[in-house]
Amino acid sequence: MKRRLLLMLPLLGFLVLMLFLYLGLGLNPFHRESKLVQDARAFPAFELSTLEDPERRVDESLIKGEVTLVNVWGEWCPECKREMPQLLDLAERGIRLVGVNWKDTREKGLGFLDEFGDPFVVNVFDPDGELAFELGVYGAPESFLVDADGVIRYHHTGYISPSDLRDTILPEVEKWQ
């Protein structure tokens, strides 16, 4: 009897996996609210150098004081290239953008900005993904809208399309201004 129960183990394991896959179907990997946003948590503490200047250290106070869109990007990420025109558009509208250069090298990151334009007031250099991990980043690009008090108010997973810009990002910025 004992061995029979042992033979049931693969089935049990599989049923557990099925349950998760079923739950996974209901969750869209894009456009899902991150836990950070549900709890309206403060932007996580960090201390990193900037992409532009290895000597300059920045921390979470960088994000405070003004509504800021924090965009996590990397040179290796093709979708990031596609969303640059939208980010440049946001910057032209006077919205403050801070970049988080994720799992990249300085040379590649700066090359990317040369190539595709630089909408960011400054870029946090996060080669080991420390800040991205705290933010709960799943994959680049992801964007976080942070209000003047440094509280994350909106989380956008994936590429910001021109219609996302119009229908969600701009209204959200308006809301928290």
What is the binding site for other proteins (CB under 8 A)?
3-4, 7-8, 10-11, 14-15, 17-18, 20-30, 32, 34-35, 76, 78, 103, 107-108, 111, 114-116, 129, 132-133, 136-139, 158
Closest approach of Cβ 148 to other proteins, in Å? 25
Q: Would you say 142 or 147 has its CB closer to other proteins?
A: 142
Contact 50, 120 (CB under 8 A): no
Distance in angstroms (rounded) separating the CA atoms of residues 65 and 83:
25
Closest approach of Cβ 90 to other proteins, in Å? 20
Closest approach of Cβ 58 to other proteins, in Å? 22
CA angle 62, 68, 71 (to 5 degrees): 90
What are the residues whose beta carbons fall under 8 Å from the beta carbon of 31, sequence distance 6 or more? Answer: 156, 157, 158
Q: Would you say 115 or 149 has its CB closer to other proteins?
A: 115
Distance in angstroms (rounded) separating the CA atoms of residues 108 and 116:
12
**The pairing of beta strand 122-126 with beta strand 96-102:** parallel
Closest approach of Cβ 41 to other proteins, in Å? 11
